[in-house]
Structure formats: C-alpha cells, structure tokens
Structure 1
Amino acid sequence: MRAAPSSTRLAVTAALLSFAAGAGDAFAFVELGGVFTANMTGSLVLSGLTGRPGYGALVAGAATALAAFLAAVYVASRAAPKGPGPRWGRIRAVLVAVVVLDLAVLVLKSVSPAPGTALRLLTLAASAAAMGSQTAAARRAAGGSGVTTTFVTGTLTSLAQDAADGSSRHAAVRVGAAVMLFLGALTASGAMAVDARLGPAVAAAGTAVALLALPRRAHRTGPPDPDASPRRPTSPKQGADMAETPGPDGRSPGRSPAATPLGRFRAEARDAITPRAALVMLGVLVLELAFVVSYIGAFHSPTPERIPVAVVAPEAERRAVIDRLNGIPGEPLSGRPADGVAQARTMVLEREVDAALLVAPDGRADRLLVASAGGPSGVQALERVLQQADPSQPLRITDLRPPNEADGRGLAPFYLAVGLVVGGYLASAAVSATYGARPANPHRMLIRLGALAVLSVLSGLGGAIVVDLVFDALPGHFAALWWIGALTTFAAAAAGMAFQVLLGPMGVALSVLIFVVLGNPSAGGVYPSALLPPFWRDLGPALPNGASVTLLRNYAYFGGHHTATAWWVLSAWAAGGVLASALAARFRRGHRPPEPAAATGV
C-alpha cells in the first residue's frame, strides 16, 4: 500500500512550480507579443479584443500557444498516467522535459533580439509546451488537492469553496501557490529589465529546484511486496555464483552496502545532509542569485528618466524651453512651467519637482535650483544632462537644501529604514523559530502581535536616538522619526508574521525576497528613484523600504511634504499583516479536528 508523501514536500513543489509558471507567463506576455502561455483563459480573452493593434499577430500567437499547451498536456499525461498513487519517477521525467523546454526558449530568444513571425511562434510553442507539461505533472502530483500551478482561478475557487464548507485542508498549499505565481512574475519582470533572456532562465531554475523537492519514491506502509523481495538462490551452486558475482557497485550481493567504502560514504552523506537540508541550501542559493541580480540590475547603469523640472523663463520663451527639455533623446527630463522664482523654490522644497531651471535672458548663466538632500547623485545627473544638451550655455547650481553636515551624502534616512525593516522581519522570524510559525489560537496571535508592536515602538525610539542624539545626522525631528520608525518596524514584522502563518518556514524566505532582495535596491537610497530602471522605480514606492525612506527623508529635510502615499503604503502593510495573521489563526482554530475523547474505565 502506498502512502502519500509529506504535505511539506508537496507544498514546496507546488510553490516552486507556481513561481516558474509566473516567470514563464511574464516572459511570454512581455517578449512574445502579449500572449500568455500558461493562462490560456487570458489569451482567449485577449484574442477577442479585435480593436487591439496587431490583432492578427495576437490571434496567431494565441492559437499557437493553445495548441502547444493542449498537446503538451496530453503527452505529459500519457507519460505520467493516473494510478492509485503518484508515480514520482515519471513525474520527475516530465519536469526534466519542462526544464529542457525552458532552456530551449532561452536559446530561441538568444537567436535574435527582434524575432520574425516564424521564430516568435516557435518560441511561443516551446514556452506553452513547457507550461502544459508542467500543468499535467503538477496535477498528477497534487492528487485531489485542487491545486494548480499555472492558473490561480481554479486554486482560489477551491480555496473559497473549502472555506465555505468548513474545511482548511490544503489551504496553505493553495495560498502559497497563488503568492508564488505572483512572485515568479515579479522576479522575471525584474530579471528581464536586465536581460530578456533571464525570463525563461528564472522559469527553468524554479522548475529545477522543484524537481529536487519531489519525493524520490513512494513509501510503503503495508507488508513488503513479495515481488520486490531480494532474489534467493534456488540451489547451492546458484548461491555460490551469486556470492561470487559482484554487483554494479563492485560488491558481492551477500555483503551489506555499509560494508563497502562507497556504502559507508553514502550513509555518512545521508546523515550529514538530509534532503530537507539540501532543499534549504538550494533555496539559499536561489535567494543569493536573486540578491545579486536585483542589486546589479538596479545599480549597474543609473539613467535619468523623466526627472520633473520646473521651468522659469520669459513668457515668449517658456514653451520652447520646456519642449527642448522634453525633447532630449531618452527623455531624461520632464519640464513643467512655474510662474516665478518663488513658486519654483516652493515646488523644489515641497518635492513637487526635483529641480527648477531659471532661464536667464541675454545669454547669461542659467540657474538650477536643487535640493541635494533628496539625493546628490540625482543632482549630478541633472547637471550632466543639461550640460550635454547645450554645452555652450553656462549653468550655475544653487542648492536650496543640502544634507546635514553629519549626513554626508544624504544616506542616513536610507540606512535607518534598512535597519528598521530588517529588525521587523527578523523579530517575526525569531518569534516563529522559538514558538512555531503558526500560533495555536487567535489569542496567542494577538499576544504575538502585541509583543511585536511594543518592540516596534522601542525600535523606532532607538533609531531616533541614534540618528538624532548620537550622530546628529538627522537632528530636530525626534518625535517624527520615532513614530515613522515604529510604523516601519511594525509593518515589516506584521507582514513577516503573516507570511509565516500562511506559508510556514517558507514565509521567512519570502520576507527576505521582498524586504531585502527587492525592497532595498528599489528604496531610492543609493540612487533616487528617477535614476533606477523602470522595474525598481515602479516597485519601490509600494514596498515598506521605499515608503519609509520617503517619510524619513521628507520629514527630516522637507517639512513632511509629499508623504501621503508613503503613509498609506506603510499603514497598508501593517494592517494587512495583522488582518491576514488574525484570519489565518482564526480559520485554523475554527476548523481544527476534535480531539478523541479519553477512554474511561468501568
């Protein structure tokens, strides 16, 4: 009789395959003509939008993807047929084919940066075949859990129906699959900002790691199968032959595996590195590579894009100056009019614009009003763009708000925010490591959140003391820095606890991915957001890191202007973490199976 593998292995496998599916779909949509290769529903809906530009190419791509997806599902399902239990060897073989197909997509993408119709359809077919094969393998592995890894609608429907029926079975796996699908698309999007070929590479890496999480064999819980028992000699001569004939590993069949040096090494290796430890090490490797890609992708080539600049010029020249700034190749600047010098100064100091250009008549030097406390590298980029646009025109820089003397290059808000966020998610991880990721009941969850709230207040207080009273880097705003710091720490702590309640130990890895791998380089600390590539520039304001940097910097230097969105972002992360943790704890408590009644003697 075959026993099902541990739920942890299936949860990890489903999460990793969902991550790979999100990456594959993101690549196909962005690079292959706006067609999904995993979400067939989306491609069919897009095919009905007849008013879209390039409608014929879209329909051809959607039809190719659909045909390849269905054919791959059929072939993979035949290769791993349905049985009384999952056939892990065949499922593993299908996933190996998925990795090969993803690598084929990478190779095809490398052939030409602007593929023709035939090459694009071939790449689409390979990507859709990978997603179809993965879908079939995942369904065979998941059994009746209702978890799918290439589209979330079915998974979320099963989750909602089970909740209505009062069942929490497979809830964590389903939530994890949905979250990882999103993160796969997010990671691939960031990777493709560096190189489009990294999209299928991320998908292949996710599937390859999922391969290692699959069970090697089904464990038996019943009596041993007589057909599988070792062959016994039927005569003395046959027994002698078996004893003398070495096996494939060089030992005699009669000797114990541990009696050979190779057998002893294998036994020691299994004891030293368990499958769970190997899986954790691979996860660390994936996070490490993601860290390298994210930081180098964000910082390797800072390029200004549409930096807002107010323009003060004579009425007759103002429109022409703005058009000239907006027409610079690459669109590094976005000019907008200002009525006078006073309004321009206000716009700079209230963070409505990053700088103001005061155009002088009669060929005299123009003035550029800046506030380098918002990022000295941004000021340098502005100066360089304007001088390259018109080298003959002299330019004089006036810094309205430089960083404090003890703040150096204006990085104190960034480093303070990094410390507060790291402290928050590490605090939630420490609580989970000590008492378990999933509290026994909602009351204990609230107690944990209360403890994290107290810690957050102390964290904000400590940060304010360090940057204000100890180093004098951000003086004069002690109370504001304290409460911004407290909210930052609690937002990271509450979100980290929610991840761990929903995903178990994998929630810690998710916290590292969001707050460290993605959050720090997109926060606008080392370089202002206007110098970052589009992926990090758009992502930063939505994460606690970027929101915290904005609040700390703008309260310390700019009177708290232009901070409403940042307050909402931090508050949403904090409230969302509390709500998700409380609901998950209550759901688990409400549907826990009753304990068996104690036996009573007569």
Structure 2
Amino acid sequence: MHSASPQSGPSRSMPAQRALGVAVAAALLQLLMILAFAWPAARTAPRDVPVVVAGPQAAAVAQRLDQQRPGAFAIATRPDEAAVRRALADREAYGAIVTTPAGPRVLVASAASPAVAQQLTALAQQMAGQTAAPVQDVVAADPDDPRGAAFGALVLPLIMSGLAAAALLTFAVGPLAWRAAGVAVFAVLGGLGSTALAQGWLSLLPGSFLAVAGVVTLALLAVSGAVIGLAAALGRAGIGLGGLVLLLLGNPLSAAGSAPELLPEPWGALGQALPPGAAVTLLRSVAFFDGAGAAAPLTVLAVWAVAGFALLGVGRLRAGRAAPAEREPALASS
C-alpha cells in the first residue's frame, strides 16, 4: 500500500484557495466598477454651478434662483451684459441671466458644457412663465457635436491607448531610458494623429491644430508616463495601480459629458486632479475659449507627466541597487 504524501493535502488545496481568492477579488472589482461608473451618472445634479446675473432685477433673480434651487448655483452679479459676456468667454461662468423690461434673456456657453446649458435654458423658461425666454449661445459647442456626445467619447480611447502603450513598453523594452523615449514618441504621434482625426474627418474640435495636438500629447504623456513610472518603481503591480486610478476613477470622474459641478462632491474636484478630467477641461479651454481657464488643468497634466518620469528615476535606482545583490551570490558560488 502506498501512503499519501503529507504534502499532497495542502498542495491540492492551493489551487482552490487561489481560485476562490481571484473570484472574490473579481466580484469586488466588479462592484467597484459599477459604483465608479454608475454612481456619478445616477447622482448628476447642479452643485454650485457658476452663473452670473445682470440688469435692473439682477438681485431679485439671484434671490429667486437661490430659493428655487438652494445650493445648485454659485451666483455672481455683473454690471451689464458686456461684463456678462466676458465672464462666459473667460470661463468664469457657464451661463447668465440678463434682466430687461421685456423679460429675462439667457446667455449660455454650451462649449463649456452642453448639459449645463440645457439645464439653464430649462430653468430660464420656468422663470419666464408662459413667455419663452430668448436664449443666445455665446460660446457654442461644435456644430457637428452640439450635445457634446462625441467629445465625451474621446476621453476613454486616450486613457486606454496610454495604458496600453505603457504596458507594452514595460514588457517589451528593458532599458528604462528607452521606455521613456518610447513614451515621448507615442505621445507626440498619438497627439498629432488623434487631433488630425478629430479635427479632420470627424470635425469635432475647432481651434488651432498645433494647440489642440499639444493638449492631446500632454494628456497622453501624463497617462502613459505615470503608468510606466509606476511600473518601473513598483513592478507589474504598478500597471494595475495605474489602470485602477486612471481608468476606474479618472474616466467616470472626468465629467467629459457633463461638468465637474454636476458630479457628487468631492468627486468632481477629484476628477479634475486626475489626467482624464484635466485633459477634458484643457481641451475645452484651448479649442473653444482661446486658452481661458487653462492654467489649472495644464498644471495638473504637467505634474502627472513629471511625476511619471521621476518614478522612472526611482525604478532606475532600484534596479541599480538590485544588480550588485544579484552578482554577489553568483561570485560566491563560483
């Protein structure tokens, strides 16, 4: 008779434990993904959306807005319609209500957010009563994409291509310096190619080709650079961490189809601190507003890109320290 090896029991249980652990982790990840993608959409509502009012009844309109929708709008007054238009063009507000003896007039900037423009238009119609309030779009969205649906669809491909490029370079290229060079080449080619496609064939983005391409290039550099830096510093786990942060959080919180002020707090602000949200805001500023409001998202993308290359330096130091430790056992055995 052959007795069973004492190692057979634990060894047989290891695959079962791993299978159970992976299944539980995947189920938890699924719940997290549903929460990340569905919760912001289910809780979309205006929260301190910047609007301006002007005209002889500006104070009364501001009070009425605050009473009807408490906490929905951050209301500021301007002396006249010219100041209102400057506020919209400078991205200080999403829309405005100008009071006149004939009734209120609504000014919107749908390029900043078609969703907010629609809500402000509907609200103004309610305030005007039976007479429809005239609406003027001061900074309009692209005529080929008036609702911003295609603009919002640009974000996910940028994130996924950046993640894919970082993963491929990590596994296919050994020297960290060449990985960094690969990220730079990918970002430039991706920026030029994506902008040519978006402005040429799809006609989605107006503005200077080089300026828009520069924004896309910086966004790709921030995404792929951050992930490749995390991979160099943390190993393969860095790719997973980068994917979770940029794809699982960054994409649904980018507010590409709405506005940061429409997301539940504090997720709107968090989304603007991640590359996808910053890229969306910077693209809107450069393509539609001549660069107004570009400083904050430009800084965010630059910080992420620099941090990625700094992590590459950390990975290089880590590899340099590991090399002597690997050589010592080899010398001892020889």
**Counterpart AA for 2:165:** A
Which residue, 447, 452, 477 being the options, matches 2:183? Answer: 452
Partner of 1:581: 312
Give, in whole Å, the separation in 2 of the partners of 1:329 and 1:481: 36
1:480 aligns with 2:211: yes
1:344 aligns with 2:78: no
- SS of the aligned residue for 1:490 comes to helix
Change (3 A) 1:281 1:502: farther
| 1:521 and 1:536 in contact (8 A); partners too | no
| 2:54 and 2:97 in contact (8 A); partners too | yes
Give, in whole Å, the separation in 2 of the partners of 1:585 and 1:279: 33
Structure with the larger RCO, 1 or 2 (CA within 8 Å, 6+ apart): 2
Partner of 1:354: 94
Structure 1: runs of 5+ lacking an equivalent: 1-242, 244-253, 258-262
Give, in whole Å, the separation in 1 of the partners of 2:240 and 2:25: 8
| 1:519 and 1:544 in contact (8 A); partners too | yes
The 5 A counterparts of 1:491-570 are 491-570=222-301
Partner of 1:319: 59
Partner of 1:205: none
Select between 387-396 and 416-425 the one with higher mean Cα deviation: 387-396
| 2:253 and 2:268 in contact (8 A); partners too | yes
Select between 388-397 and 317-326 the one with higher mean Cα deviation: 388-397
Which residue, 381, 388, 395 being the options, matches 2:133? Answer: 395
- SS of the aligned residue for 2:270 comes to helix
Displacement of 1:539: 0.8
Per-residue CA deviations over 1:110-149 (Å, capped at 9, x if unaligned) read xxxxxxxxxxxxxxxxxxxxxxxxxxxxxxxxxxxxxxxx
Displacement of 1:302: 1.6
Displacement of 1:318: 3.2
Partner of 2:75: 335
1:369 aligns with 2:107: yes
Change (3 A) 1:415 1:532: same
Displacement of 1:352: 0.8
| 2:52 and 2:78 in contact (8 A); partners too | yes
| 1:311 and 1:356 in contact (8 A); partners too | yes
Change (3 A) 1:399 1:453: same
- SS of the aligned residue for 2:266 comes to helix
| 1:446 and 1:582 in contact (8 A); partners too | no
Give, in whole Å, the separation in 2 of the partners of 1:491 and 1:504: 19
The 5 A counterparts of 1:173-572 are 279-280=21-22, 282-314=24-56, 317-361=57-101, 364-388=102-126, 391=129, 394-434=132-172, 444-572=175-303
Change (3 A) 1:510 1:599: closer
Per-residue CA deviations over 1:391-447 (Å, capped at 9, x if unaligned) read 467522111233223224223443323222221122111222345xxx6xxxx2122
| 1:424 and 1:489 in contact (8 A); partners too | yes
- SS of the aligned residue for 2:31 comes to helix
- SS of the aligned residue for 2:115 comes to helix
Give, in whole Å, the separation in 2 of the partners of 1:469 and 1:584: 40
Per-residue CA deviations over 1:434-461 (Å, capped at 9, x if unaligned) read 45xxx6xxxx212211111101111111
TM-score (norm 2): 0.88
Structure 2: runs of 5+ lacking an equivalent: none
| 2:191 and 2:213 in contact (8 A); partners too | yes
Give, in whole Å, the separation in 1 of the partners of 2:265 and 2:129: 28
Displacement of 1:388: 4.9
Aligned length: 327
Give, in whole Å, the separation in 1 of the partners of 2:140 and 2:237: 43
Displacement of 1:564: 0.4
1:597 aligns with 2:328: no
Give, in whole Å, the separation in 1 of the partners of 2:317 and 2:127: 61
Change (3 A) 1:360 1:394: farther
**Counterpart AA for 1:341:** E
RMSD: 2.7
Give, in whole Å, the separation in 1 of the partners of 2:233 and 2:28: 21
Displacement of 1:389: 5.7
TM-score (norm 1): 0.50
Displacement of 1:278: 5.8
Per-residue CA deviations over 1:450-497 (Å, capped at 9, x if unaligned) read 111101111111101110112122244211121111111111111111
Change (3 A) 1:371 1:543: same
Change (3 A) 1:275 1:451: farther
| 2:206 and 2:288 in contact (8 A); partners too | no
| 2:207 and 2:288 in contact (8 A); partners too | no
When Rg is computed on C-alpha atoms for both structures, the one with the higher figure is 1
| 2:54 and 2:80 in contact (8 A); partners too | yes
- SS of the aligned residue for 1:368 comes to strand
Give, in whole Å, the separation in 2 of the partners of 1:300 and 1:377: 14
Displacement of 1:590: 3.3
Give, in whole Å, the separation in 2 of the partners of 1:530 and 1:386: 19
**Counterpart AA for 1:395:** A
**Counterpart AA for 1:318:** A
Change (3 A) 1:463 1:280: farther
Select between 412-421 and 493-502 the one with higher mean Cα deviation: 412-421
| 2:48 and 2:261 in contact (8 A); partners too | yes
Give, in whole Å, the separation in 2 of the partners of 1:343 and 1:329: 24
Displacement of 1:586: 1.2
Select between 348-357 and 471-480 the one with higher mean Cα deviation: 471-480
Change (3 A) 1:540 1:522: same
| 1:417 and 1:488 in contact (8 A); partners too | no
| 1:371 and 1:399 in contact (8 A); partners too | yes
Give, in whole Å, the separation in 1 of the partners of 2:99 and 2:111: 23
- SS of the aligned residue for 2:61 comes to helix
Displacement of 1:531: 1.3
